[in-house]
Amino acid sequence: MSQQPGNSGATEEYDVVVIGAGVSGMYALHHLRQMGLSVRVYDGATDVGGTWWYNRYPGARVDGPGSPFYCYTFSDELMQEWDWEETQSEQSAVLEYLEHVADRFDLRRDIQFATWVKDARYDEAAQRWTVETDTGVRASARHLICAVGALSTTNMPDIPGIHDFAGECYHTGSWPHEPVSFEGKRVAVIGTGSSGIQAIPEIAKEAAHVTVLQRTPQFAFPAGNRALTPEDLADARENWEAIREKMYANMGGFPHDGSKGSALDDTPEERRALYESLWQRGGFHFFLDLYSDIAISEEANASLADFVRDKIREIVHDPETARKLLPDHYVICKRPILEDGYFEAYNRDNVTLVDLREDPIERFTPNSVITQSGEHPIDMLVLATGFDAISGTMLRLNPKGRGGVSLGERWQDRFHNYLGMTVAGFPNLFMIHGPGSPGVFYNMPLGAERQMDWIGHCIQHLQDRGMGAVEPTTDSEDAWANEVSAIAGATLFPKTDSWWTGANIPGKPRYFSAYLGGDIYYQRISDIAKDYAGFVFEPVQDADEANAS
């Protein structure tokens, strides 16, 4: 289908509209172009990068298994030519990489930036999606791909008086592009997840005082960041093919051989020795090289939790502060955090910890936060309060499917989906990293590529058969929900409050919505693509369309 000129009032026509120009949307554009399809991407930001464009708070870094593997795998040349500098790349380095990808594959010409999609509706007769944007551009496409990010809708806490606070106020997930100075300022930070734990030590280096308002103490592990040597890079490049194969075969999509057996087969001394060596080494390998039952057996879990609690007691000098920092949930079952100087920051004179469980926030005033125990004067408020994760941005988009039924209506009780990519009643709509997929439990750039490859195959299948629309049945959605829940139910993850279970957002359906078991997922979706069991294909309804395709 040809693209119509984008003059005002006209509807632009494409084969595919992609929402989001982050890691997933960028690859989606590249892949769909390779398939010969016309594509338009919309993004509210002014350039590529998605999460890496928005999350530019101090200390923001890759907190997964680091570079050189936080990268796309689709282009050998790209892998060979890009020089990562550190194992845990900082935000600006990842963004630079993504900008390079955009240049190298000439992506920007098909991306419209600074443009929010404010509505998306399915037209049943035309079997097409129409999207409306806040710039007045309207587009129509056979397929709609939502690459909207699993961690992109910020969670703004609803605390009495917060809007009256007159000082500077920033959310880590939408940090200003202009430099933020903490010099001489009294800063309050709400939130001690990955973002808060990365930001707090950095802010403390500059600020006059930092007051950390902690709701849940967290397990955090040494990031072990280090410079990559020329040998590291040469080795990765030389062995890239074997590394990529390993990534494809690994449960989390990482170049890793798999974990050890049960923690319970080792003596307490042997377990401690392993934990200590992993702690000293640092990095995401802590989790990859662990026993296989840490998130399954309560006893195994407790052995690691005790080890980390002892570390916190060792690092933090003030016993009362250390006590407040001791987590009491299942370790690993909230998003594991990598830190660099977080616990040490509490040994500084200019950092105070407020435990909101014992001393809750009552309200904000224009220049302070008042907790039960008293008033804390502040000049700046940093909200490291996370995201309405996994489903939140799809719900904010709230596409309208068959019969004008909105996603919000369909997802009232749970996030109904099939394979984590499709939803009954929403033909030709695909999600990347949606609920029901491994999403945040898998190496995200690789996961985006693999899901997009599947979506591309599905679109090709539809075209080859001369069909106009594809959607899953509600029965296949139910069976998928059971499969997702059965896998999660064998672990401790659903028993732990986290953004993985929706516990951080009041009123959100509370269940563990990710597909645990990464590589099994990719085997499953590949098997299903042999005959598209669970999907219904609808013939092209419009004769003109049929002739055109």
Closest approach, Cβ 378 to ligand NA7, in A, equals 15
Closest approach, Cβ 513 to ligand NA7, in A, equals 15
Q: Which stretch binds ligand NA7 (CB under 6 A): 130-138, 191-199, 319-327, 421-429?
A: 191-199
Closest approach, Cβ 216 to ligand NA7, in A, equals 3
User: Looking at beta carbons only, is 155 or 451 nearer to ligand NA7?
Assistant: 155
User: Looking at beta carbons only, is 153 or 451 nearer to ligand NA7?
Assistant: 153
Closest approach, Cβ 498 to ligand NA7, in A, equals 7
Contacts of 67 (CB under 8 A, 6+ apart): 84, 85, 86, 87, 88, 89, 93, 228
Kindly state whether residue 386 participates in binding ligand NA7, applying the rule CB under 6 A: yes
Kindly state whether residue 371 participates in binding ligand NA7, applying the rule CB under 6 A: no
Residue 248 parent element (H or E): helix 240-249
d(C-alpha 334, C-alpha 499), whole Å: 8
User: Looking at beta carbons only, is 305 or 458 nearer to ligand NA7?
Assistant: 305
Q: Which of 121, 138, 205, 215 binds ligand NA7 (CB under 6 A)?
A: 215
Q: Which of 429, 471, 363 lies closest to 18, judged by CA? A: 429
Q: Which of 324, 335, 414, 433 binds ligand NA7 (CB under 6 A)?
A: 335
Kindly state whether residue 500 participates in binding ligand NA7, applying the rule CB under 6 A: no
User: Looking at beta carbons only, is 107 or 190 nearer to ligand NA7?
Assistant: 190
Write the interaction track for ligand NA7 spanning residues 114-153; mark x where CB under 6 A is met and - where it is not: -------------------------------------x--
d(C-alpha 422, C-alpha 403), whole Å: 17
* Under 8 Å between Cβ of 88 and 65: no
Kindly state whether residue 501 participates in binding ligand NA7, applying the rule CB under 6 A: no
d(C-alpha 483, C-alpha 436), whole Å: 9
Write the interaction track for ligand NA7 spanning residues 401-440; mark x where CB under 6 A is met and - where it is not: ----------------------------------------
Closest approach, Cβ 158 to ligand NA7, in A, equals 7
Whether the bond into 68 is cis, omega within 30 of 0: yes
Q: What is the 3-state secondary structure (H, E, C) of 124-175?
A: CCCCEEEEEECCCCEEEEEEEEECCCCCCCECCCCCCCHHHCCCEEEEHHHC
Q: Which of 93, 384, 462, 469 binds ligand NA7 (CB under 6 A)?
A: 384
Q: Which stretch binds ligand NA7 (CB under 6 A): 26-34, 382-390, 416-424, 534-542?
A: 382-390
Q: Which of 1, 8, 100 lies closest to 49, judged by CA? A: 100
Six-digit token pair at 342?
């977080």
Q: Which stretch binds ligand NA7 (CB under 6 A): 42-50, 188-196, 373-381, 516-524?
A: 188-196
3-state secondary structure of 281: helix
Can you say whether the dihedral through the CA atoms of 21, 25, 31, 36 is positive or negative? negative
Measured torsion, CA atoms of residues 521, 522, 524, 529, in degrees rounded to the nearest 10: 140
Closest approach, Cβ 449 to ligand NA7, in A, equals 19
The DSSP bridge partners found for residue 429 are: 144
Six-digit token pair at 125?
């007769």
Kindly state whether residue 186 participates in binding ligand NA7, applying the rule CB under 6 A: no
Q: Which of 191, 253, 425, 472 binds ligand NA7 (CB under 6 A)?
A: 191
Q: Which stretch binds ligand NA7 (CB under 6 A): 14-22, 109-117, 380-388, 413-421?
A: 380-388
Kindly state whether residue 217 participates in binding ligand NA7, applying the rule CB under 6 A: no
Q: Which of 190, 325, 345, 381 binds ligand NA7 (CB under 6 A)?
A: 190
Write the interaction track for ligand NA7 spanning residues 279-318; mark x where CB under 6 A is met and - where it is not: ----------------------------------------
Contacts of 540 (CB under 8 A, 6+ apart): 127, 466, 467, 468, 546, 549
CA angle (240, 518, 513) in 5-degree steps: 145
Kindly state whether residue 216 participates in binding ligand NA7, applying the rule CB under 6 A: yes
The DSSP bridge partners found for residue 381 are: 169, 188
User: Looking at beta carbons only, is 30 or 335 nearer to ligand NA7?
Assistant: 335
Closest approach, Cβ 301 to ligand NA7, in A, equals 18
Q: What is the 3-state secondary structure (H, E, C) of 312-329?
A: HHHHCCCHHHHHHCCCCC
Residue in the structure block whose two tokens are 């119509």: 4
Q: Which stretch binds ligand NA7 (CB under 6 A): 204-212, 252-260, 285-293, 383-391?
A: 383-391
Q: Which stretch binds ligand NA7 (CB under 6 A): 20-28, 184-192, 234-242, 392-400?
A: 184-192
User: Looking at beta carbons only, is 192 or 428 nearer to ligand NA7?
Assistant: 192
3-state secondary structure of 547: helix
Six-digit token pair at 275?
């934990």
Instruction: Give, in order, the Cα–Cα distances in Å from 316 to each of 155, 207, 352, 361.
Output: 30, 20, 12, 24
Subset of residues 63 to 92 that bind ligand NA7, contact rule: CB under 6 A = 63
Can you give the binding site for ligand NA7, defined by CB under 6 A?
63, 151, 155, 157, 172, 190-196, 215-216, 335, 356, 384-387, 499, 504
